[in-house]
């Protein structure tokens, strides 16, 4: 990976990050199936250890389903302050090698090490050293994918998980993706994958055989992207500290809310959590969105875009309550409420990101 013009991209992905932190800090959890989250009736799994994954437990799975699949599952309450602190520690390691760090979440990031500060000759050697330092300094395992673009590097990081590393060298991207199912491709969600399967597109090779025109007809503006990745092409740069586009908070209640007063109190609580982040980050947006999920899983959203950014907590609270009142009378009980602020002003104070947010 040393030819002029060829980038050296690493995708680092921490292995079962939240659950691994809990197992690191509590020896009694090691070797046991662990879920980070709450085991209550309305709980959801935020993360699962590899021992839990062997039973079929996955992130975002309802806690009741997870317990049915894995009766010995141990639930541990999340400690996001701890995860953020470790995430910052990992990012400090990255910064010893490059300024070009693009966080995707608390537990993964892209690095462009084409010009690396340590003078290491290859991206493979750089990724190996970074993973070794993460292990030595945090006690946690990381997997890495190494390639000449972001799409291939992210695919490669999954190829040897956990605690592995895989390289897709220049000229091998098309061959690497041809036998992979399209559902593995970043940017192809379950609905799109199902649609592709219905069109006879099951693998990268099937996707590569389609013309741009065909893909645009069936997938709109995403068509050219699908055509490019089927050929192992991705020209997106690694963008350091992308500005955060929104800040939101939501919660699922143990029992459905049926009284407007209780619904409004829930909205106010979510608005206060969002405001806490906005005030700390000095990031203020113009659009307020309220999300309502009913007991029968129907969902409604209400949004309002203001002429100026929301710079006062009382304004956010007022707008959020006004929005939720537009769904009255409630058709049934409410199981989940969320509040999000978006449309941050480019000219205003920037959102401050850690390694993730």
CA angle 339, 341, 344 (to 5 degrees): 175
Binding residue per annotation — 96? no
CA of residue 38 relative to chain centroid, distance = 20
The secondary structure of the chain in percent helix, strand, coil, rounded to multiples of 5, reads: 40, 25, 35
Q: Are the C-beta atoms of 29 and 74 separated by less than 8 Å? A: yes
DSSP 40: S
Catalytic, 108? Answer yes
Binding residue per annotation — 107? yes
Q: Are the C-beta atoms of 13 and 20 separated by less than 8 Å? A: no
Q: Are the C-beta atoms of 118 and 126 separated by less than 8 Å? A: yes
* CA distance linking residue 305 with residue 287, whole number of Å: 4
Q: Which of 54, 108, 115, 174 is catalytic?
A: 108
* CA distance linking residue 252 with residue 261, whole number of Å: 17
Handedness of CA 89, 95, 99, 104 (dihedral sign): negative
Give how far Cα 357 sits from Cα of 29, 189, 205, 235, Å: 27, 23, 36, 25
Q: Are the C-beta atoms of 271 and 339 separated by less than 8 Å? A: yes
Token code pair at residue 310: 């929301």
Q: Where are the alpha helices (DSSP H) in the chain?
A: 17-25, 50-53, 63-69, 80-95, 123-138, 150-157, 173-178, 190-198, 204-208, 212-219, 223-230, 260-281, 313-324
Provide the b/e sequence for 23-45 (b: ≥16 CB within 10 Å). Answer: beeeeebeeebbbbbbbeebbbb
Closest listed residue to residue 335, CA positions, set 45, 128, 112, 44: 44
**Secondary structure of 120-164 as H, E, C letters:** CCCHHHHHHHHHHHHHHHHCCCEEEEEECCHHHHHHHHCCCCCCC
Residues with catalytic function: 108
Binding site, annotated residues: 13, 107
Binding site, annotated residues for Mg(2+): 13, 107
């Amino acid at each position: 990976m040393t030819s002029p013009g060829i980038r050296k991209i690493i995708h680092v992905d921490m292995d079962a990050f939240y659950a691994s932190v809990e197992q690191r800090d509590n020896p009694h959890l090691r070797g046991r199936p662990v879920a980070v989250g709450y085991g209550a009736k309305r709980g959801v799994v935020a993360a699962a250890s590899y021992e839990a994954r062997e039973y079929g437990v996955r992130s975002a799975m309802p806690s009741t389903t997870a317990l049915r699949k894995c009766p010995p599952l141990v639930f541990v309450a999340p400690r996001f302050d701890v995860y953020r602190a470790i995430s910052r520690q990992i990012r400090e390691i990255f910064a010893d090698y490059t300024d070009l760090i693009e966080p995707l979440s608390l537990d993964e990031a892209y690095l462009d090490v084409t010009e690396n500060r340590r003078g290491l000759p290859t991206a493979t050697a750089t990724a190996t050293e970074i993973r070794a330092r993460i292990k030595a300094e945090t006690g946690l395992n990381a997997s890495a994918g190494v390639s000449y673009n972001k799409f291939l590097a992210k695919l490669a990081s999954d190829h040897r998980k956990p605690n592995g590393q895989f390289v897709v060298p220049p000229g091998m991207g098309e061959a690497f993706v041809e036998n992979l199912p399209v559902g593995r491709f970043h940017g192809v969600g379950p609905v799109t994958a199902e649609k592709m399967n219905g069109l006879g597109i099951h693998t990268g090779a099937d996707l590569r055989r389609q013309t741009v025109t065909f893909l645009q007809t069936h997938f709109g503006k995403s068509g050219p992207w699908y055509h490019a990745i089927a050929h192992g092409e991705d020209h997106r740069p690694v963008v350091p500290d992308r500005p955060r586009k929104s800040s939101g908070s939501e919660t699922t209640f143990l029992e459905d809310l049926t009284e407007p007063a209780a619904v409004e109190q829930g909205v106010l609580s979510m608005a206060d959590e969002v405001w806490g982040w906005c005030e700390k980050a000095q990031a203020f947006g113009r659009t307020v969105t309220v999300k309502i999920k009913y007991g029968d899983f129907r969902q409604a959203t209400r949004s309002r875009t203001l002429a100026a950014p929301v710079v006062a907590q009382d304004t956010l609270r007022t707008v959020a309550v006004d929005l939720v009142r537009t769904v009255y009378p409630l058709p049934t009980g409410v199981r989940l409420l969320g509040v999000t602020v978006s449309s941050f002003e480019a000219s205003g104070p920037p959102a401050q990101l850690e390694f993730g947010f």
